[in-house]
Amino acid sequence: MTASQSGIYAMATKTEGSTRPLDRIDTSARFTESDAIRLNRMFRGQDTLEMLTSTLKDSLAGDVAIVSSFGAESAVLLHLVAQIDKSVPVLFLDTAKHFPETIAYRDKLVAHLGLTNLVILTPDAEELAKKDEAGLRWSWDPDGCCEIRKVKPLEKALADYDATITGRKAFQSSTRAQLPRFEIDNSDAQGRLKINPLIDWKAEDITAYMEEHDLPRHPLVAEGYPSIGCSPCTHKVAPGEDPRSGRWKGWDKVECGIHSPNNPDAYKQPPEGFDPAV
């Protein structure tokens, strides 16, 4: 395994006739594509809970955190992990744009599952004041808004972890249809693992699991929101539509950026004459 267990190593050098250790920092990637392939092969066909238990209990992925939106289906992954270790860090991006129902649901679910390590990440206040003072960037530059409120805060937090567990599932959208259980996070050169335990679960599997374990539902699901993000960019979805089609409706955008690079045009200036009220 090429995880960061190697840490700092010493090399002997001579200084004025004496030998002293010289600290060198190992800057190589925590994991490589070969590691991801090996883990996918190792757990091929294995039950989701068994796979997660082995990964966490045997420290196969180093220091791990869950990234959770506390959305429509988040309870399933959180319940699975809570059965193994309730102290695994759960990273929640508080964008200041969430539905009030999401914040209430987050707190209810944390208490219900007995999770003990909720980590709330917030945007940099100075950058927010500089680039989104009016709080309306979502209305003309959703990529830039996500970059400030989600991508950068998470990027900063992930420096402390070797791997993240996500709740992505193949049925949610075409961009997620071919994802493996284990992959390399290519957002930087750190070589973190991304673990997608539920990638092969179907919508009916999620529903059945929630019913079997009597898990609390996000209140907005019953109102027609099968995928829930920030309130300005989340809309209701008609029966039979892609579950994520209500996200960023009207924009050529399907991800917030924490799982894929954002539009390179992010941080563009408001269009001339822009009026968010129109």
For residue range 78-97, what is the model confidence (pLDDT) as tens digits? 999 999 999 999 999 999 99
Which one-letter DSSP state was computed for residue 182? Answer: E
Please tell me the predicted confidence (pLDDT) of residue 174.
60
Residue 247's Cα: distance from chain center in Å?
16
- In terms of pLDDT, which residue wins out, 8 or 110? 110
Is 98 in contact with 231 (CB distance < 8 Å)?
A: yes
Q: Identify the band that residue 146 occupies on the pLDDT scale cut at 50, 70 and 90.
A: confident
Please tell me the predicted confidence (pLDDT) of residue 56.
97
Domain 29-233 has CATH 3.40.50.620: yes
Mean pLDDT (the chain, rounded): 81
User: What span, in angstroms and rounded, lies between the C-alpha atoms of 30 and 26?
Assistant: 10
- 164-207 tens-digit pLDDT: 999 888 765 565 567 889 999 887 778 899 999 998 898 899 99
Please tell me the predicted confidence (pLDDT) of residue 232.
86
233 is a catalytic site residue? no
Q: Which of 146, 230, 233, 256 is catalytic?
A: 256
The stretch 141-166 carries a mean pLDDT of: 91
Walk across the sheet containing 118-121 and list its strands. 118-121, 90-93, 64-67, 163-165, 193-195, 182-184
Please tell me the predicted confidence (pLDDT) of residue 247.
67
- 202-252 tens-digit pLDDT: 889 999 999 999 999 999 999 888 888 898 888 888 777 766 666 666 555
Is 171 in contact with 198 (CB distance < 8 Å)?
A: no
- The CA angle 39-161-76, to the nearest 5 degrees, is 65
